[in-house]
């Protein structure tokens, strides 16, 4: 009986983790490019806070996308392992 609770909890936790990865991917695809474009169009006064350039932000966004892809691949490998163990952690 306790194994069923742990198994369901592990499945739920993994589903939440995957949903979070998907949400971050969607934000990076849908929202971030628009924000970066607005930064490049912004007319900042000389005494304003320092803001990264659009190119720097694009580079950082590209790094984030690559890290998300690596995390997704690792999660898929871990999912296979969890399934093989009956979702026992």
Confidence of residue 39 (pLDDT cuts 50, 70, 90): confident
- DSSP letter at 48? S
Tell which wins on pLDDT, 58 or 4. Answer: 58
- Coil/strand/helix, residue 71: helix
Whole-number Å distance between alpha carbons of 85 and 69: 25
Tell which wins on pLDDT, 61 or 54. Answer: 61
Considering only CA atoms, which of 80, 79, 71, 83 is closest in space to residue 28? 71
pLDDT in tens, 63-80: 999 999 999 999 999 999
For residues 9-36, give the mean pLDDT.
Answer: 93
Confidence of residue 51 (pLDDT cuts 50, 70, 90): confident
Both tokens of residue 7?
A: 């198994």
**Residue 87: count of CB within 10 angstroms of its CB:** 19
Which pLDDT score is estimated for 42?
62
Query: What is the tally of helices (H) and strands (E) in the chain?
Result: 3, 0
pTM above 0.85, yes or no: no
């Amino acid at each position: 009986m306790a194994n069923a609770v742990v198994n369901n909890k592990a499945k739920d936790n993994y589903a939440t983790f995957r949903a979070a990865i998907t949400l971050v991917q969607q934000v990076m695809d849908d929202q971030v490019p628009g924000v970066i474009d607005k930064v490049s169009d912004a007319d900042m006064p000389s005494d304003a806070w320092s803001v990264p350039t659009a190119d720097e932000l694009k580079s950082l966004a590209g790094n984030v996308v690559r890290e998300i892809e690596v995390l997704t691949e690792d999660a898929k490998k871990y999912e296979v392992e969890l399934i093989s163990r009956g979702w026992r952690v």
